[in-house]
Amino acid sequence: MSDTPHPDGDLSGKHIVLGLSGGIACYKTAELARALVKAGATVQVVMTEAAEQFITAVTMQALSGRPVFTSAWDDRAVDGAANNMAHINLTRQADAVLVAPASADFMAKLLHGRADDLLSLLCLARRVESCPLLIAPAMNREMWAHPATQRNVAQLRADGTHIFGPASGEQACGEVGDGRMLEPEELIEELIGFFRPKPLAGKRVLVTAGPTFEPIDPVRGITNLSSGKMGFAIARAASEAGAEVTLVAGPVHLATPRGVRRIDVRTALQMFDAVVPGAGHHDVFVATAAVADWRPASLSEQKIKKNGSKIAPIFELTENPDILAAVAKQALVAGRPFCVGFAAESHDLLKHSREKLERKQVPLIVGNLGPATFGRDDNALVLVDAQGHRELPQADKLTLARWLVGDIAMRLADRDSPTQEKKQ
Same domain flag for 162 and 268: no
Asked whether residue 19 falls in the same domain as residue 123, the answer is yes
Taking a C-beta distance cutoff of 8 angstroms, is the pair 191, 98 a contact? yes
Residue 208 lies in a domain: yes
301 assigned to some structural domain: no
pLDDT of residue 4: 44
Closest by CA to 119, choosing from 23, 50, 66, 59, is: 50
Bridge pairing between strands 317-319 and 221-222: unpaired
26 is catalytic: no
Identify whether residues 172 and 239 lie together within a single domain: no
Domain boundary among 168, 195, 222: 195
Residue 363: the pLDDT is 93
Residue 98 dihedral angles phi and psi, to the nearest 5°: -115, 115
Closest CA to 260 of 275, 244, 241: 244
User: Which pLDDT tens digits describe the chain residue by residue (424 residues)?
Assistant: 444 444 446 899 999 999 999 999 999 999 999 999 999 999 999 999 999 999 999 999 999 999 999 988 887 867 766 666 777 888 889 999 999 999 999 999 999 999 899 999 999 999 999 999 999 999 999 999 999 999 999 999 999 999 999 999 988 888 889 999 999 999 999 999 999 999 999 999 999 999 999 999 888 888 988 899 999 999 999 999 999 999 999 999 999 999 999 999 999 999 999 999 999 999 999 999 999 999 988 888 888 887 777 777 788 899 999 999 999 999 988 888 999 999 877 787 888 888 888 898 999 999 887 666 777 888 889 899 989 999 888 899 999 999 999 999 999 988 877 665 444 4
Note whether 177 and 279 are same-domain residues.
no
CATH number, domain of 347, equals: 3.40.50.10300
Residues 269 and 412 in one domain: yes
* Domain end residue (candidates: 175, 195, 215): 195
Residue 1 falls within a domain, yes or no? no
Full domain range(s) for residue 121: 15-195
CATH number at residue 132: 3.40.50.1950
- Planar angle of CA 163, 165, 170, nearest 5 degrees: 150
Do 215 and 147 lie in one domain? The reply is: no
Residues 188 and 287 both lie in one domain = no
Instruction: For residue 304, tell me if it sits in a domain.
Output: no
Residue 65 region, left (φ>0) first, then alpha (ψ -120 to 50), else beta? Answer: left
In a domain, residue 72? The reply is: yes
Q: How far is Cα 391 from Cα 233, in angstroms, rounded to an integer?
A: 18
* 261 lies in the same domain as 221: yes
Asked if residue 122 and residue 212 are part of one domain, the reply reads: no
Final residue before a domain boundary, out of 166, 195, 224: 195
pLDDT at 89: 80
Residue 199, H or E segment = none
Distance CA 211, CA 221 (A): 12
Same domain, 215 and 88: no
- Active-site residue (options: 26, 123, 131, 173): 173
Predicted pLDDT of residue 418: 67
Domain identity same for 191 and 337: no
**How much is the pLDDT for 328?**
94
Distance CA 241, CA 239 (A): 5
Neighbours of 194 (CB within 10 A): 16
Domain count, the chain: 2
Say if 188 falls within a structural domain.
Answer: yes
- 183 and 223: one domain? no
pTM for the structure as a whole:
0.85
Asked whether residue 240 is assigned to any structural domain, the reply reads: yes
- What's residue 302's pLDDT? 82
Q: Is residue 181 part of a domain?
A: yes
